[in-house]
Amino acid sequence: MEAFTALGGTPTVRIRYDNLKPAVNQVLFGCSRTKSARWAAFRSWYGFTPFYCVPGEEGAHEKGGVEQEGGRFRRRHLVPAPEVESLAELNELLAAIDAEEDARHIHGRPTSIGFDFEAERPLLSPLPTDEYDTGIDLTPVVHRNGRVTVRQCYYSVPARFIGMKVRVKLKANEVWIFDGRKVVARHPRLTRRYTCHDILDDYLKILLVKPGAFAGAAALSQARAEGVFTKTHEAFWAAAKKRCGNREGTRMLIEVLLLHRQLPAAAVIAGMATVLKVGAISTDLVAIEARKAIENTEEAEGSAADIVAVTGSDAVEDESGRGEQAGAGAKVISLHTKRMPPDLRPGLPDMSKYDRLLKPVTTTRTAASPPKQKGTSA
């Protein structure tokens, strides 16, 4: 499927395959094969016709060019063997090499490989609108240690699913774990048996109750190796333990790690860095500073978008620094004027009604006639 996506279509006639085990269950006489059900569904989805080579030395001449090209590619690009951290990094390296190969010229041909392929691209059949689901559905039970067993490998699941049966989508490079239709965990697929991959976030609720087990947790070691648990986390943990003790300081760090479920990781790390500079170690302050970092990032992106919108238009700038839109009725703008943020404060309230209380109130009796004095006749 990845090959069809890279090519941008599928061949219209047929594709020559070796007798790969996921496709062929049994080799029969001649070119007849007993195919697997999943392979039959896959080729029906993309609408191509497979053609299988003769097994053994008799069929070696049918794919000689492929064998030779594979050897050339390995000797030129993969000797010595590249050192990578993950399978995803290796795939990115191979994709970059593949892009460079488009400029290569085969001996005896005047044009490059990429040029020849662009001439043949219109002959390919278009890809289906929806992608084919190549994963396998499994339903393992979550063990008491918060892991599921998939093909003799172990993957962590959030602790609330312990003892429950979950749905697992086993793909070529990833393992997805579902709760209904919601993905609750994603792991890179392991290639060695009896190995495990843990996500630290899956155990935080348990470690919050038992913070003493946090320092020796296997999930913490993997988070450090993968770079998820950064030096800023280490510094915050050390400062929290120094101020509140080992138990309460570790619990404070776990509460900060739980913020990653609601806020972006970069914002939480920025919040911890700000709190460490101030010297006030608090989970609430980390949350406040993280939200401030998000707001500052959004404001910066909005200002950058406004500047791009202005500079990207057909503006003409004179020597005084004023820009004028080309065309009739254009407005004169200045890119050098400092853009002040809008005043979000509400307007002043109307105080006229309260001012009336400061003035003496004139009654009807006073306005008509002064009061009579004692001892006077009518």
- CA–CA distance, 253 with 282 (Å, rounded to integer): 9
Q: Is residue 75 located within the same domain as residue 185?
A: no
Q: Is residue 19 located within the same domain as residue 86?
A: yes
pLDDT at residue 86, rounded to an integer: 79
pLDDT in tens, 113-143: 999 999 999 999 999 988 888 889 999 999 9
What Rg, from alpha-carbon coordinates, does the chain have? Answer: 36
Q: Is residue 12 located within the same domain as residue 34?
A: yes
Q: Is residue 140 located within the same domain as residue 230?
A: no
Q: Where are the alpha helices (DSSP H) in the chain?
A: 2-7, 37-46, 64-77, 87-101, 113-120, 204-209, 218-226, 231-244, 246-258, 265-278, 283-311, 352-355, 364-368
Q: Is residue 57 located within the same domain as residue 164?
A: no
Q: Does the pLDDT value for residue 249 go beyond 70?
A: yes
How, if at all, do strands 182-188 and 196-197 pair? unpaired
Q: Is residue 43 located within the same domain as residue 116?
A: yes
- CA–CA distance, 164 with 124 (Å, rounded to integer): 47
The answer to whether residue 169 is domain-embedded is yes
The answer to whether residue 156 is domain-embedded is yes
Q: Does the pLDDT value for residue 234 go beyond 70?
A: yes
Instruction: Map tokens 């999930």 to a residue.
Output: 219
Q: Per mean pLDDT, which range of 1-15, 219-233, 264-278, 293-307 is the poorest?
A: 293-307
Q: Is residue 142 located within the same domain as residue 117?
A: no
Q: Is residue 115 located within the same domain as residue 7?
A: yes
Three-state DSSP state, 350: coil
Per-residue pLDDT band for 246 (boundaries 50, 70, 90) equals very high
Amino acid identity of 235?
A
Domain range for 89: 2-123
The answer to whether residue 154 is domain-embedded is yes
- CA–CA distance, 378 with 372 (Å, rounded to integer): 9
The distance from CA 73 to its chain's CA centroid, rounded to whole angstroms, is 32
Q: Are 287 and 248 in contact (CB under 8 A)?
A: no
Would you put residue 167 in left (φ > 0), alpha (ψ -120 to 50) or beta?
beta
Q: Is residue 108 located within the same domain as residue 17?
A: yes
pLDDT at residue 308, rounded to an integer: 52
Q: Does the pLDDT value for residue 302 go beyond 80?
A: no
pLDDT in tens, 161-192: 999 999 999 998 899 999 988 999 999 999 89
Q: Is residue 177 located within the same domain as residue 76?
A: no
The answer to whether residue 336 is domain-embedded is no
Would you put residue 194 in left (φ > 0), alpha (ψ -120 to 50) or beta?
left
Is residue 140 reached through a cis peptide bond, with omega within 30 degrees of 0 on the bond before it? Answer: no
Task: Single out the residue in 197, 218, 250 at which a domain terminates.
Answer: 197
pLDDT in tens, 4-13: 988 899 988 8
Q: Per mean pLDDT, which range of 219-223, 228-232, 281-285, 299-303 is the poorest?
A: 299-303
The answer to whether residue 365 is domain-embedded is no
User: Domain total for the chain?
Assistant: 3
Q: Does the pLDDT value for residue 375 go beyond 60?
A: no
- CA–CA distance, 325 with 361 (Å, rounded to integer): 61
Residue 149 CB burial class (10 angstroms; 0-12, 13-18, ≥19):
middle
pLDDT at residue 18, rounded to an integer: 84
% of the chain residues with pLDDT over 90: 46
pTM of the model: 0.66
Task: Single out the residue in 151, 171, 197 at which a domain terminates.
Answer: 197
The answer to whether residue 360 is domain-embedded is no
The distance from CA 96 to its chain's CA centroid, rounded to whole angstroms, is 21
**What is the arithmetic mean of pLDDT over 192-206?**
93
Per-residue pLDDT band for 343 (boundaries 50, 70, 90) equals low
- CA–CA distance, 361 with 351 (Å, rounded to integer): 18
Residue 309 vs residue 108, higher pLDDT? 108
The answer to whether residue 224 is domain-embedded is yes
Q: Is residue 42 located within the same domain as residue 117?
A: yes
Q: Pick from 319, 316, 242, 256: which is nearest to 288 by CA?
A: 256
Length, in residues, of the chain: 378
Task: Single out the residue in 90, 123, 156 at which a domain terminates.
Answer: 123
The answer to whether residue 369 is domain-embedded is no
- Residue 186: which CATH number? 2.40.50
Q: Is residue 182 located within the same domain as residue 227?
A: no
Count the Cβ atoms, other than its own, within 10 Å of residue 13: 9
